[in-house]
Structure 1
Amino acid sequence: MDRRPTALLRRARDAVEPPARLVDWSLFAIVVFEAVSGLVSFTVGSASWWPLFWAHRVAGVTFVALLGFKLARVRHRVTDRRQWRPSTGLSVLTTIAAVGALATGTAWVFGLDVRLSYWTLLSVHVGFGLVLVPLVVAHLSTRFRLPRRRDFDRRRTSLKYAGLLVSGAVVYRGQEFANRVLDSSGADRRFTGSQPREGDGNGAFPVTSWVADDPDPVDTDEWTLDVAGATGSDLEFTYDGIAPDAEREALLDCTSGWYTVQRWRGLRVGDLLESAGAAADARYVRFVSVTGYRWSLPIDEARDALLATHVDDERLTHGHGAPARLVAPGRRGFQWVKWVERIEVRRRGDPAQWVVTLVSGFE
C-alpha cells in the first residue's frame, strides 16, 4: 500500500495546525466570541456595524478548520470503545452542537430558507450556538490543560493563525461570490444576514413574536394611547381619535432572519412629545406594550420615530402590532415595540428592559 499520499497529507496538516492545546483553547475562545458577537449583532441594525458581522462569519469559518484538527486528533477516543470515558458522552454532545451550529449557519448564508416548526434556520443556528457555550466550558473542564511555553513559538504560531484567519476571510468572500454567480437567495442578504421579504402591506412579511410576547387581539374600542412622564401635560388618545397623518418608508430587519421595506403611516413621535411638552432635561422615551414589553430610545432618536397604525395604506393587523407599533429605523425588529399603549418621557435610561424582553408575555 502506497503511504506517500497519507504522509504528504500529514505533513501538510502539521504545517498549518497549531499545537494541540492551543487548538483547544482557540476553539473555546472562538465559541465565546461567536456567542458574544452574535448576541450583540441582534441589537444593531445600522450599516456602520458591518465589521462585527464580517468578523463573526470569518471566525466561524476559522472554527471549521480548528474543529477539523481537533476531531482528527481525538476521533479514536470515540471509535475505539476501549477508550470510552464518562466524559465521552459530553464530548459527543459538544460535537453535535458544534456541527449543528456550523451546518445551519452555512445553509443560511447560502440562502436555504426553511422553517423548523416556529423557527427559521437562523434561529436554530442561534440555539445551537447558545447551547454550545456551556458544553464547551464543561468539556474543557474535563481535560483542563494550559498551553505550554513551547506551544508559543511566536513566528511559527503567528503565521499559522494568520493563515487560518486569512483563509477564513477568503472562503467567506468566495461564498459571497458563489451566491452572486448562482443567483441564490443568499445573494440578497443584508449585512446582518437577513433575507428579503418582498411585497406591500401586512401580507408581505411574517408575523413573529419575541419570546412569549403574543397577546390576544386588542379591543380598539377599549384601547387608549397615553403619553406621560416628564411632560408638561399628559395626553390620552382613543383609537378613533388618532389622525395618522405622518408617513415614512423604513426597513424592518427581524432577528429571525428576514427584512422588508415598507411604507408606514401613523403619528410622528416628535409631534406627540411637542404636544405633551417634553421636559428640557428629558433624555429617553420608553414605549410600553400591552404585554408589559418595553423599549427605550434616546429622545433625539425617538423624535424621528413613528408610531404606526398603517402599513402601505392597510391598517395594521393584530400580528403586526395593531392598534399601534413603534417604527424605529436603524433598529432591529425586536425593538419595534408592538401593541403600544403607553409612551413615557424619562430623564433616565431603563436597563431593566433587557430583563423584560425575556419574561414579558409569560403568565
Structure 2
Amino acid sequence: MVSVPGELAPPPRIVDWSLFAAVGVAVATGVTSFWLGHPSDAAVFWIHAVAGLSLLPLLAAKFRRVAGRVRDRRAWDRATPLSVCLAAVAVAAGATGVGWALGVTAPLGVWTLLNLHILFGLLVGPLLLVHLRSRFRPLRGRDVRDRRVALQYAALVAAGGATAWILRRLAALLETPAASRRFTGSRELDAGSDLPVTSWVVDDPAPVEPAAWTLTVDGRVARPLALGVDDLQPATERRALLDCTSGWYAERDWRGLDLGTLVDAAEPTADAAWVTVHSVTGYRWSLPLPEAREALLATHLSGERLDHGHGYPLRLVAPDRRGFQWVKWIERVEVRRRPDPRQWLAVFVSGFYSSG
C-alpha cells in the first residue's frame, strides 16, 4: 500500500471527513451516471473518476494512522470489524474501477469489472454511514483554517484529475480495450456482433402472443388508440447508439414506428407534457414530450424482426438514453401531465408480476 508521509498527511479529522465527502461525491455521480448518455454529460463521469481516485491517497493516510491498532487485536472494539470490512470494500471499489479504466478483463461469466465496481461502490455508502455512527467526530475550526490543508486538498484534486487523464492515455498507448471506450466507460462491440440480450432486474416475461397483444395509446389524449401486431407498419428507420450500463455500446440500425407520429395521432391534450412507455413486465420509463417525439418504437433490429430477447413486438429506441431506459415488450404508451413516479418503484419490482 502506498504510504503518505506524516508531514504531508492532513489532520486526522480532515482525513475522515474528506473520505466521507469523496465517497459521497463518488457514489452520487456514479448513481447519477446510470441515467446519463449524452456527450454533454461527460463532466459527471469525469468528476466521478476524480473523486474515486482522490480516495486512494486519503485511504493510504487513514491506513497509516490506524494500522497499529488494527494489527493489535487487544485494541479492537465492537466497531473494528466493520471498519476493516469498509476498508476492504473501498479498496475493492477503487481497484476494480482502475482496472476497468485500464481495460483489464477477468473471467467473471456474464459480469465484468465494471459490474463489480458498481457493486462495491454501492456497498461503500451504507457501510460508511454505519461506520460514522461509532466513529463520528465533528470538525473543529482549527482543522479547516490551516492554509496548508487548503493546499493539500488543491493538490489532491489536481492529482486525481491528472491520474484520470494518465489512465486514459495509458490505455490508448497500450491499445487496451479501454482505448475505444465512450466517456461512460462502455466498450464498443464489434460491428458485426449480435447485441447481447440484457434485462433490467428480473424482467423475463413469457414470449408475447401476437394474437393476444395490443398496444394502447391513452392518457392525456382526445383519441385513444388500440393497435394489434398486424397494425404495426414500420415506416421509420434510424441508426442509434445503445449504451448499456453493463459496460458495452453499439451503433445499430433500428426500424419501426415513429413515437411522435403515434402520439400525435392520438391527439394529445393541451396539458400533455410527458410520455410514459410501459412494458408487459410492469417496467416503464417517462420521456418529456419533445424527446418522445424523437424516439422510435422499434419492430426490427439490423433488418431483422425483433426476437423475444430484444423486446418483441416493440422496443423503445431513445437516443442519448442508457440501455435500461430502452423499454422492451411495450404494451402501452401513456401521455401524461407529469412523469410517472411509479417508474422508480418499477425499477426494483418489475418482472415480479406481468400482464403479458
Q: 1:5 is matched with which residue?
A: none
User: In the alignment, does 2:41 pair up with 1:62?
Assistant: no
Deviates more, 1:90-99 or 1:145-154: 145-154
TM norm structure 1: 0.93
User: In the alignment, does 2:75 pair up with 1:83?
Assistant: yes
**Quick check: 2:39–2:183 contact (8 Å CA) kept in 1?**
yes
Secondary structure in 2 aligned to 1:264?
A: strand
Cα shift at 1:316: 1.3
Q: 1:156 is matched with which residue?
A: 148
Secondary structure in 2 aligned to 1:310?
A: strand
Cα shift at 1:116: 3.1
Using the alignment, how far apart are the partners of 1:91 and 1:309 within structure 2?
52
Cα shift at 1:254: 1.0
Cα shift at 1:302: 0.5
Pairs within 5 Å for 1:110-149: 110-114=102-106, 116-149=108-141
**Quick check: 1:42–1:332 contact (8 Å CA) kept in 2?**
yes
Q: 2:201 is matched with which residue?
A: 211
User: In the alignment, does 2:18 pair up with 1:23?
Assistant: no
**Paired residue type of 1:141:** R
Cα shift at 1:223: 1.5
Secondary structure in 2 aligned to 1:204?
A: coil
Using the alignment, how far apart are the partners of 1:113 and 1:305 within structure 2?
34
Equivalent residue in structure 2 for 1:248, among 206, 223, 238? 238
Q: Provide closer, same or farther for how the CA distance between residues 124 and 294 of structure 1 changes in structure 2, counting only shifts above 3 A.
A: same
User: In the alignment, does 2:93 pair up with 1:101?
Assistant: yes
Q: 1:274 is matched with which residue?
A: 264
User: In the alignment, does 2:301 pair up with 1:319?
Assistant: no
**Quick check: 1:326–1:338 contact (8 Å CA) kept in 2?**
yes
Deviates more, 1:348-357 or 1:37-46: 348-357
Using the alignment, how far apart are the partners of 1:266 and 1:113 within structure 2?
36
Deviates more, 1:349-358 or 1:293-302: 349-358
Q: 1:72 is matched with which residue?
A: 64
**Paired residue type of 2:198:** T
Using the alignment, how far apart are the partners of 2:334 and 2:106 within structure 1?
39
Using the alignment, how far apart are the partners of 2:255 and 2:61 within structure 1?
54
Q: Provide closer, same or farther for how the CA distance between residues 148 and 347 of structure 1 changes in structure 2, counting only shifts above 3 A.
A: closer
Cα shift at 1:114: 4.0
Cα shift at 1:217: 1.6
**Quick check: 1:198–1:205 contact (8 Å CA) kept in 2?**
no
Using the alignment, how far apart are the partners of 1:243 and 1:189 within structure 2?
36
Deviates more, 1:149-158 or 1:122-131: 149-158
Using the alignment, how far apart are the partners of 1:320 and 1:262 within structure 2?
13
Using the alignment, how far apart are the partners of 1:59 and 1:230 within structure 2?
43
Unaligned runs of 5+ in 2: none
Deviates more, 1:165-174 or 1:13-22: 13-22
Deviates more, 1:139-148 or 1:351-360: 139-148
Equivalent residue in structure 2 for 1:40, among 32, 36, 40? 32
Q: 2:170 is matched with which residue?
A: 178
When the two chains are superposed, the root-mean-square deviation of aligned CA atoms in Å is 1.7
Q: How many residues align?
A: 352
Using the alignment, how far apart are the partners of 1:347 and 1:153 within structure 2?
50
Cα shift at 1:253: 0.9
Cα shift at 1:285: 0.9
**Paired residue type of 2:252:** Q
**Paired residue type of 1:326:** L
Using the alignment, how far apart are the partners of 2:136 and 2:289 within structure 1?
49
Using the alignment, how far apart are the partners of 2:341 and 2:217 within structure 1?
21
User: Percent identity among equivalent residues?
Assistant: 50
Q: 2:6 is matched with which residue?
A: 14
Secondary structure in 2 aligned to 1:236?
A: strand
Cα shift at 1:260: 0.9
Using the alignment, how far apart are the partners of 1:199 and 1:216 within structure 2?
30
Using the alignment, how far apart are the partners of 2:227 and 2:164 within structure 1?
51
Using the alignment, how far apart are the partners of 2:83 and 2:263 within structure 1?
56
User: Deviation string for 1:138-193 (max 9, x for gaps)?
Assistant: 22222222223322233211100001111111111111110111111101111111
Deviates more, 1:168-177 or 1:122-131: 122-131
**Paired residue type of 1:71:** F
Cα shift at 1:99: 1.2
User: In the alignment, does 2:281 pair up with 1:329?
Assistant: no
Q: Provide closer, same or farther for how the CA distance between residues 115 and 313 of structure 1 changes in structure 2, counting only shifts above 3 A.
A: farther
Q: Provide closer, same or farther for how the CA distance between residues 326 and 114 of structure 1 changes in structure 2, counting only shifts above 3 A.
A: farther
**Paired residue type of 1:278:** P
**Paired residue type of 1:61:** L
Pairs within 5 Å for 1:168-317: 168-200=160-192, 204-317=194-307
Unaligned runs of 5+ in 1: 1-8
User: Deviation string for 1:1-27 (max 9, x for gaps)?
Assistant: xxxxxxxx99x7234321111101111
**Paired residue type of 1:133:** G
**Quick check: 1:115–1:121 contact (8 Å CA) kept in 2?**
no
